[in-house]
Chains A and B, each alone.
Chain A
């Protein structure tokens, strides 16, 4: 049972470099999400995709772009990394048809921008 798979698990970038975080789910879920976790802030929503072909901004979208490649995959791109983007990133998915359906999370990507 793979669930939600994120790659890579760890990454160090230099300021100004770009990278894409990959996320895939095998639960046939419609909705997918990207969060960042910073100490004392909980998880904050960056972008989400309610269904294949749609994406919307969350609470902290600046500096990020996303692509819902197909129903399974939802990627997060940093075009020009900044030290403020040092964080742990989590991808999640859920079945949007049930209001009490929980979200399932990947194991996270720890990103450091130097």
Chain B
């Protein structure tokens, strides 16, 4: 069975400190992996995606994610948090069904950034 698990519902950091948002997935084949961000009362914006070209993926706004097949993980990191990073973050895995790719969401991690 395919699934995606975000290990923390909330992460709280101080501005200027590193960010780590954790995501694990379960898939019987090589997955398509994405991170999306949702700012309050806004739509969803793609942060980055894993394309199998490299295990370390760079995204927008200084975010990165590392694909670790042995750990079935795709954790999101940023070296230094900014107040504007406060938002909801979703790890997404696309599973195939009948020839179509179905984006399946984790439950989300709320990032809180303190001044």
The answer to whether B49 and A42 touch across the interface, beta carbons within 8 angstroms, is no
**Can you name the residue of chain A whose Cβ is closest to the Cβ of B51?**
A100
Instruction: Collect the chain A residues with CB atoms within 8 Å of residue B94's CB.
Output: 99, 103
Considering only residues 1-42 of chain B, those with a C-beta below 8 Å from chain A are: 6, 9, 32, 34, 36, 42
How many A-B contacts are there with CB distance less than 8 Å?
Answer: 63
Where chain B touches its partner, the secondary structure class is strand
B103 CB–A CB distance under 8 Å: yes
B43 touches A33 (CB 8 A): no
How many of chain A's residues have a CB under 8 angstroms from any CB in B? 28
A43 engages B46 (CB within 8 Å): no
B107 at the interface (CB under 8 A from A): yes
Q: List the B side residues contacting A33 at CB < 8 Å.
A: 102-103
Residue of A nearest to B42 (CB): A107
Residues of A close to B46: CB separation below 8 A = 102
Interface size class of B (residues with CB under 8 A): 20 to 34
Q: Is B98 an interface residue (CB 8 A)?
A: yes
In-complex Cβ contact of A102 among B6, B9, B34, B98 (8 A): B34
A101 near B101: Cβ-Cβ < 8 Å: yes
B52: contacting residue among A48, A90, A100, CB under 8 A: A100
The interface residues of chain B lying within 8 Å CB-to-CB of A40 are 9, 107-108
Query: Are B107 and A94 in contact (CB-based, < 8 A)?
Result: no
Which partner residue on chain B sits nearest A88 by CB separation?
B41
Kindly provide the distance from the CB of A17 to the nearest chain B CB, expressed in whole angstroms: 25
Q: Which of B90-115 contact A (CB under 8 A)?
A: 90, 92, 94, 96-108
In the complex, A35→B44 CA distance in Å? 12
Q: Is the beta-carbon distance between B100 and A43 smaller than 8 angstroms?
A: no
Shortest Cβ distance from residue B35 to the other chain A in the assembled complex, whole angstroms: 10
4 closest cross-chain pairs (CB), A and B: A50-B100, A42-B105, A42-B107, A105-B44
Interface residues of B (CB under 8 A from A): 6, 9, 32, 34, 36, 42-44, 46, 49-52, 90, 92, 94, 96-108
